[in-house]
Chain A
């Protein structure tokens, strides 16, 4: 193979194989750089590195250069540089970043090199490579956030096309390599035809699969909701279990028995609980979210029962309560049936990753007052509210077995002693009692009944029965091993053919391995079968991590929990957590943090509609119907008009700080004021009416904060979809534009070439120069007209082709041309005449033979231009 032919084949390989490979792998490299974004790895740099490695390797290994010698040397060099960086005396963090960045870049460079080699030398490399790229693209696209099958189809189209295109192009280049004469124009046409077929068939595929796509869209949408997660329940209460937007934490996971439980470690919220034992020992309470009173046997799942007895759960949406306004529900205090050992506590909840519309509080909570978050903590906490709760003095978050604190142990003993006074449940209303002692029958539940009867046969009182069952979970077998083991992966029953091979059965009678929901469910059915009212609760377990900030508790996602509450008449529902291995949770490595500063209590809060705005003086007029004045809440039947000075006010819309100009008349706003004049005001006693108090308020109240309602959120998915659609459209637009420009450039190329040759000819003044310049010009024109020189000598070409066709004297000109080129003789006047007169007559005759339209059409034939370039043999 001649060097020229090798060069052309190399060029074709670069354009037809290497370039498409780089284009298809660019999104994957972008994904990699995003994954390592902490190391500041730039996508363009990575792509450039990978691409240059591939190109260099492709060029080098298309020659006879051996691979292993070169690649081995390259690896040794990269390793040596990496070691040098590691041992260089950078600072610790610099060393880490530089070394790891180099390592990642070096690995990518090596992979690029190997790929370039594979493409150059291995016939079947692209089969494997294209499949890997396709698989990786499929995985990457799954996390892009697109949930429409049609869009996904066109997003995966490039790697799919590439897979088939690479096979086709590689084989085509392989075949033409052995041909004696190669028509490169035809090669390009074949490539073009193949791409057209691919595109057409892909479009046909998307059309054929429209029905299937609709089905798949539902699954995708369900996945999307589930990553919120959509459980498919229409019940509002159940849907609250699903709330948590973009986070991975899902409380719903804890309501059912599963073979595997996912956990994450996000900080969800922070709470301050004003609840201490004697001698200032904090007494944390579990955070209750929901009571689950219904059990779905088939799905082995606990659910909220909307038709249960009067509930003692207060579930406001804090985001819907005006700031500093207090929402109260006193019915829950009656429903909780707590009459003794009542302990009112105040808590403040600061929301981090948890959905702020989910209300968390120690039970039994009955009031909620949203408050603002200090500016310095707004990055961390996006929402906060105060909670008032009534908790039982006998309740505690400390588990029944894991505390070593003497005071707490003493507290536990005291608790049990008091509860032993309750002998039975005869005084409990029948419907209430039967509701909370109901259990399914048959199969596993009969076995559970037998087991619990066996365990509690010596227990006299309900609390003793509870403790007997607790002790069962804590017990050890004959070998001294713990009978029950805590695990997040309890697995599925190994033989589903065994009757009652449910997860619950598997846990209690087979593996004895499970997480909190298993322990809670087992203890619930065991207690209920012994006639003890029990219910399942999901929420968060509270861990007192350190003594640095007594009363403050941090709640991470792995603290989500399920446990049982047992009802004791007059004492209400008490927490009894049977889950073992709480020692691990207590020793969790999650750190204690800096608690947020409580905000300064505002003197005046008003919610109303903005009636007037003056952007110059920054004054506003608000018609307020909800007020809080010096902690006293008021709800007015008729709105009261306040004039306010907002010159020092911050305008906040949910989490964004805006400017005064962003306010609009008609906006609903909550204004807070720390006005000293209001601070100095004193109430005149209970006889003063709300209106009188309002009238005493100073004029032009100085407000410090204006909170406006967040803008109605568009469906984030739709927004994301729209932005993706826009990106796709933009991408398509730019691609088409580039393609269009490319086609235009290609079609213009012969015209441009012609212009260049012509201008060169016209630029020559002397005869010799003109003769030398006119020859390629004529040859080019004739080539475009379809009369290329081919293998003929110039003179034969002139004699046999040009002159007979056009009636010119090109032969004479060629003789003069050859004379100029090879002889040292001066040109005669006759020669100069030939030169000077040739082109005008040539042009005239050309126009006569080839009309303008034909000439123009011939110039558009880019294949002829390619032919001319490839076969250029003008020396």
Chain B
């Protein structure tokens, strides 16, 4: 609710004609003028005629400078407002297939036609999502093909989209700003687009999952005998693969880099079902931490799955909530897509985890109460990966001496301090301590990450 209100306010603020720059300039000018008037201006003051002269001069000049910028900017905005139907916009988000990409800095390119640029001013675009949030600005500054007005205008930016989630674009706000950035005239144009972002690659602890029976009756491991010998399986080369396993003969013939996957003892144990639970039962966790922890949790799951797959196992992935099917994704993208749809849930209990033996690994976060986890451990129905989400914020050292001299550009120092002092952290840490004790027991099968 609070976030919606904030988003709405931020949206509305974009339509306020006077920018912060202009407001601050006005306030400071008034303060300085008042000071000069009180200290130096008076009937008997020797400064009076000079101050009058300067006041006239600077007042008229400032009026001309600001007025000129304002009027021209207003004209550009009016032109867009009138011709808006004829304005075509092309948003190119630097994503794979225009649909998915790695969370973080997402390159965006925006181009639009039939726009008059404010003279040495700015035309900025903000991308508005369905949930009311906005990201930007993308400064339209490139002229493709020449210097004339009315040709396509382009802008590029790297937008900070950090959530591993689905994004539904609602439209754009185009803001015309004068050269001093005192005034802003905005226009909202509707535009629909959807995409999703997934986790970046990161290091995760190695996972040790003992082989287990998988869907032996349902699927046989396909074999493909391309070359004589005891090597049965090939896959495309990816970074991280052992270069000694590159099949050079295939390369010489087809110019394709493939690696051979060594034969495994149990061909039927190459498949596992990983079930990720997004249960968050620790009530009252602050929203800002919740979001960061969710992304962290997704990162660990994602990279763990990738690691498992690299070791030669196929991973079938599922989550404990319905996946939005508005985007059609390939099977190989399912992991990333499912994770992007996932949100914390508060209503699922461990009883509701699949327990018919079809799940090999269950991932849970340390936001699940230890009592429920104990129950799950006792069931011994699957291998349990418990991810300590407090690591998301605890990785940084508050009292690192280098932080005293150097600013940390990535994270807010205040945020770090607030986390260290928060009650939530204490609760989560307490829960994690209990979880750590549970992990020490003989009944536990799995890993605490």
- The chain A residues found within 8 Å of chain B, CB to CB, are 64-66, 69, 124, 127-128, 131-132, 134-135, 138-139, 141-142, 149, 152-153, 156, 160, 164, 167-168, 171, 175, 178-181, 186, 190, 193-194, 197-198, 201-202, 204-206, 208-209, 212-213, 216, 219-220, 222-223, 227, 260
Contact = CB atoms under 8 A, between A and B. Distances in A.
Contact of B61 (A65, A135, A190, A202): A202
Interface stretch (B47-55, B229-237, B260-268, B356-364): B47-55
A132 B29 CA distance: 9
A623 B194 CA distance: 110
Interface in B94-150: 107, 119-120, 122, 139, 141
B54, B58, B408 — most chain A CB neighbours (10 Å): B54
A212 B56 CA distance: 8
Interface stretch (B2-10, B20-28, B366-374): B20-28
B181 interface: yes
A617 B236 CA distance: 116
A216 B53 CA distance: 6
Nearest to B61: A205
Contacts of A175: 122, 139, 141
A138 B36 contact: yes
B39 to A, nearest CB: 9
A204 B64 contact: yes
Contact of A156 (B35, B58, B60): B58
A135 B36 contact: yes
Given A164-B180, A190-B120, A205-B61, A180 B53 contact: no
Contacts of A180: 107, 156-158
A169 to B, nearest CB: 10
B57 A153 contact: yes
B414 interface: no
5 contacts: A65-B406, A124-B24, A134-B32, A175-B122, A180-B107
A829 B120 CA distance: 57
B25 A127 contact: yes
Contact of A179 (B35, B44, B141): B141
Given A138-B36, A201-B64, 15 more contacts: A64-B409, A69-B404, A139-B47, A141-B50, A152-B53, A153-B57, A160-B61, A179-B156, A208-B60, A209-B56, A209-B60, A212-B56, A213-B53, A219-B48, A220-B49
Interface in B48-97: 48-54, 56-58, 60-62, 64-65, 68
A53 B20 CA distance: 29
Contact of A205 (B46, B49, B52, B60): B60
Given A64-B409, A156-B57, A216 B64 contact: no
A164 B62 CA distance: 9
Contacts of B61: 160, 201-202, 205
Counting contact residues on chain B (CB < 8 A from A), the size range is 35 or more
Contacts of A69: 404-405
Contacts of A131: 28-29, 32
Contacts of A156: 54, 57-58
B179 interface: yes
B404 A138 contact: no
A193 B118 CA distance: 13
Contacts of B29: 131
Listed from nearest, the 3 A-B pairs whose CB atoms lie closest are A142-B50, A219-B49, A205-B61
A132 B404 contact: no
Contacts of B107: 180
Contact of A160 (B32, B36, B58, B68): B58
Nearest to A148: B53
A178 B52 contact: no
A216 B156 contact: no
Contacts of A168: 120, 179-180
A260 B28 CA distance: 32
Given A131-B32, A190-B120, A142 B51 contact: yes
A125 to B, nearest CB: 10
B251 interface: no
* Majority SS at the chain B contact face: helix
B407 interface: yes
B248 interface: no
Contacts of A216: 49, 52-53, 56
Contacts of B157: 178-180
Contacts of A149: 53, 57
B32 A135 contact: yes
A209 B57 contact: yes
A79 to B, nearest CB: 21
B50 A152 contact: yes
B40 interface: yes
B136 to A, nearest CB: 10
Contacts of A135: 32, 35-36
Contact of B406 (A64, A208, A222): A64
A208 B20 CA distance: 31
B183 to A, nearest CB: 13
Nearest to B108: A180
A213 B49 CA distance: 11
Nearest to B25: A127
A197 B407 contact: no
A144 to B, nearest CB: 9
Nearest to A226: B46
Contacts of B407: 64-66
B150 to A, nearest CB: 19
A220 B405 CA distance: 54
Contacts of B57: 149, 152-153, 156, 160, 205-206, 209
A167 B21 contact: yes
Contacts of B405: 65-66, 69
Contacts of B60: 205, 208-209
B156 A127 contact: no
Nearest to A174: B181
B64 A205 contact: yes
A69 B405 CA distance: 7
Contacts of A206: 57
Given A178-B157, A216-B52, A198 B404 contact: no
A138 B68 contact: no
B62 to A, nearest CB: 8
Contacts of A186: 141
Contacts of B404: 66, 69
Contacts of B24: 124, 127
A479 B248 CA distance: 118
Contacts of A223: 46, 48-50
A181 B156 contact: yes
Contacts of A222: 49
A202 B54 CA distance: 13
A190 B28 CA distance: 26
Contacts of A208: 60
B424 to A, nearest CB: 28
A135 B38 CA distance: 13
A446 B123 CA distance: 75
B409 A194 contact: no
Nearest to A138: B54
A64 B405 CA distance: 8
Contacts of A198: 65
A171 B181 contact: yes
A197 B68 contact: yes
Nearest to A223: B49
A64 B409 CA distance: 8
Given A168-B179, A205-B64, A179 B139 contact: yes
A138 B35 CA distance: 13
